[in-house]
């Protein structure tokens, strides 16, 4: 259901050894965690954190060395503190596989994809905020801000104005409605580019709904703090905004002599992996070791 991205590279940089313990901050369907468990047996533990309750309910955990927790990695230290095993034992590696899974796009029915007509939700957890609320209630100036900052959208003002005008007449409740509004605001010659014209707005909304960037900023220092000396952080990001946060955190921590960067440039998927899993094409992996 979900192919783990850059799996070989994750294992190479985390380098799990028998008896070592790891945290998978974005467990999903466990593709990375299950492979780590093959390497750290017989005694190593993996703590899997997943914010989406529905995904956790679909995960069949039959491995006694896998401890699954519902939560957001922005509370990483608190989760570790509340976990008796990890509170008392060393942590050799922390993994972040950012973004959302293929399941969210293909099967969740929450409006992550504009390929089918679904309710405008885009939430990965029960945090109360939805894309519908943002589109219909947030001030036009806020729409402009998130489309520009989170989506790097070229036609931000035109799209925000079109949304504002449409919602005066009717609520925008579905992905199809939103795509039609976005299309109406974009000049015709720009509607048939390499990527779909609604991609950047949908990305911006997803980031805003789930507070993805601020969660990452809060989580990275916590990951460094819970790691033992020589423990490793591996982060897979899927767009430039995430990658920039990771790059800057690694750079600043390196200057403070708390991290040694293992990847001078981000690692990207091979051509073979992209052919097998097209959604891996934008992945970038960065790794560092605590010193």
Q: How confident is the model at residue 190 (pLDDT cuts 50, 70, 90)?
A: confident
Q: How confident is the model at residue 235 (pLDDT cuts 50, 70, 90)?
A: very high
Q: How confident is the model at residue 101 (pLDDT cuts 50, 70, 90)?
A: confident
The confidence score (pLDDT) of residue 285 equals 98
- Give the mean pLDDT of 11-23: 98
Q: How confident is the model at residue 1 (pLDDT cuts 50, 70, 90)?
A: very low
35-89, pLDDT tens digit by residue? 999 999 999 999 999 999 998 888 777 789 999 999 999 999 999 999 999 988 9
- Give the mean pLDDT of 219-223: 98
- Give the mean pLDDT of 79-108: 91
Domains and CATH numbers, the chain: 7-103+212-290 (3.40.50.150), 128-210 (1.10.150.170)
In the predicted model, what is the mean pLDDT of the chain? 94
The confidence score (pLDDT) of residue 161 equals 98
Q: Rg of the Cα trace of the chain?
A: 20
Query: What Å distances lie between residue 221 and 76, 92, 127, 216, 246, CA to CA?
Result: 10, 16, 23, 9, 11
Q: What does the alpha-carbon distance between residue 103 and residue 80 come to, in Å, rounded to a whole number?
A: 27
The confidence score (pLDDT) of residue 2 equals 67
């Amino acid at each position: 259901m979900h192919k783990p991205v850059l799996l070989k590279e994750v294992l190479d940089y985390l380098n799990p050894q028998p008896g070592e313990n790891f945290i998978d901050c974005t467990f999903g369907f466990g593709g990375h965690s299950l492979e780590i468990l093959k390497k750290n047996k017989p005694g190593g533990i993996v703590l899997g954190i997943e914010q989406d309750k529905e995904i956790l309910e679909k995960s069949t955990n039959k491995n006694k060395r896998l401890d699954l927790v519902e939560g957001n990695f922005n509370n990483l230290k608190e989760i570790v503190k509340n976990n008796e095993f990890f509170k008392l034992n060393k942590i050799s590696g922390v993994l972040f596989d950012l973004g959302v899974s293929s399941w969210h796009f293909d099967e969740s029915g929450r409006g992550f994809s504009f390929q089918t007509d679904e309710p405008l939700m885009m939430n990965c957890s029960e945090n109360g905020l939805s894309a519908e609320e943002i589109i219909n209630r947030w001030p036009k100036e806020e729409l402009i801000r998130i489309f520009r900052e989170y989506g790097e959208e070229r036609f931000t003002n035109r799209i925000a104005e079109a949304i504002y005008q449409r919602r005066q007449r009717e609520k925008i409740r579905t992905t199809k409605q939103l795509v039609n509004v976005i299309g109406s605001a974009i000049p015709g010659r720009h509607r048939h580019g390499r990527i779909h014209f609604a991609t950047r707005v949908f990305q911006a909304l997803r980031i805003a709904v789930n507070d993805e960037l601020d969660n990452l900023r809060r989580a990275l220092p916590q990951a460094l703090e819970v790691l033992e000396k020589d423990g490793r952080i591996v982060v897979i990001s899927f767009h430039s905004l995430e990658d920039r946060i990771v790059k800057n955190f690694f750079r600043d921590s390196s200057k403070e002599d708390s991290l040694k960067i293992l990847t001078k440039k981000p690692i990207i998927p091979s051509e073979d992996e992209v052919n097998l899993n097209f959604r891996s094409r934008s992945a970038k992996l960065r790794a560092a070791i605590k010193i």
